[in-house]
């Protein structure tokens, strides 16, 4: 069904995810302002509030799609342009093969390659010192926290990756609810838009919530006074 096709779905979903991330950031600022400094608590709350905003954006997107379809006359499918017979867009250039050009001469003897002298004065490789080992051990918590935050970002990237399937199902649902079932004067009996959205995006947001919960708990455990990621990283500089 042509009306159910969504143009640039990943771009549209990227915009929705960007607005969702902005909502989470503003929620974090607001919670910090009212005294919610525990990262293990503030981060999951921000994700849940951001997911609520995401569901509202999906609902608004679907309603906008349904309103657009309701205003259509019904017979406009936007037929694709028919190519002109006898005219082809491809023009064979028939690239001429004029030989390899000026080829390199193989008659000249190759220049002698100087042998590298291996003398006894070559400096030996230095073994890592104990101080470097201690620095590496101190950096492990930072690496682990950043890996958890990266996992949360990958979860949001997965939402963008599945955008074509999600928006196509929501668009089809809007087509049916705005057209066929409205003409039949009975409610649409298909899957609800909310269950469709939760089925596609629930697991990624749960993974992001869990990742941020563990990251916040680890940051509070290692640096109890840290109230933000910046303060946690500043402790290890």
Q: What is the pLDDT of residues 158-207, one digit of tens each?
A: 999 999 999 988 888 777 766 545 554 545 445 688 999 999 999 999 99
| Domain contains 126 | no
Structural domain boundaries enclosing 14: 7-72+131-235
| Domain contains 120 | no
| Domain contains 122 | no
| Domain contains 182 | yes
| Domain contains 109 | no
Q: How many helices (H) and strands (E) does the chain have?
A: 7, 0
Phi/psi-derived region of residue 30, left when phi > 0, alpha when psi is between -120 and 50, beta in every other case: alpha
**In the structure, what pLDDT confidence band is assigned to residue 215 with cuts at 50, 70 and 90?**
very high
Alpha carbon 185 to its chain centroid, in Å, reads 40
Instruction: Answer yes or no: is pLDDT of 88 > 50.
Output: no
**In the structure, what pLDDT confidence band is assigned to residue 39 with cuts at 50, 70 and 90?**
very high
User: What is the share, in percent, of the chain residues with pLDDT greater than 70?
Assistant: 62
| Domain contains 62 | yes
The Cα–Cα gap between 197 and 204 comes to 11
Asked if 191 contacts 203 with a C-beta cutoff of 8 angstroms, the reply is no
Q: Which pTM value belongs to this model?
A: 0.67
- Structural domain tally of the chain? 1
Mean pLDDT of the residues in the chain: 75
| Domain contains 107 | no
**In the structure, what pLDDT confidence band is assigned to residue 140 with cuts at 50, 70 and 90?**
confident
């Amino acid at each position: 069904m042509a009306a159910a096709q969504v143009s640039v779905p990943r771009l549209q979903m990227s915009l929705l995810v960007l607005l969702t991330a902005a909502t989470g950031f503003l929620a974090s600022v607001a919670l910090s302002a009212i005294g919610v400094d525990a990262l293990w608590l503030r981060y999951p709350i921000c994700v849940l509030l951001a997911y609520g905003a995401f569901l509202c954006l999906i609902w608004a997107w679907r309603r906008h799609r349904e309103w657009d379809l309701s205003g259509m006359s019904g017979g406009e499918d936007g037929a694709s342009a028919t190519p002109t017979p006898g005219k082809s867009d491809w023009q064979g250039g028939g690239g001429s093969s004029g030989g390899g050009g000026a080829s390199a001469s193989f008659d000249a003897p190759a220049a002698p390659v100087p042998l590298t002298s291996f003398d006894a004065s070559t400096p030996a490789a230095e073994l890592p010192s104990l101080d470097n080992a201690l620095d590496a051990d101190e950096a492990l918590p930072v690496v682990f926290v950043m890996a958890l935050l990266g996992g949360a970002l990958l979860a949001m990237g997965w939402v963008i990756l599945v955008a074509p399937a999600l928006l196509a199902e929501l668009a089809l649902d809007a087509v049916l609810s705005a057209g066929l079932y409205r003409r039949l004067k009975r409610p649409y009996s298909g899957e609800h838009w909310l269950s469709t959205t939760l089925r596609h995006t629930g697991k990624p947001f749960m993974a992001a919530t869990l990742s941020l919960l563990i990251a916040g708990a680890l940051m509070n455990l290692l640096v109890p006074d840290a109230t933000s990621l910046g303060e946690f990283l500043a402790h290890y500089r």
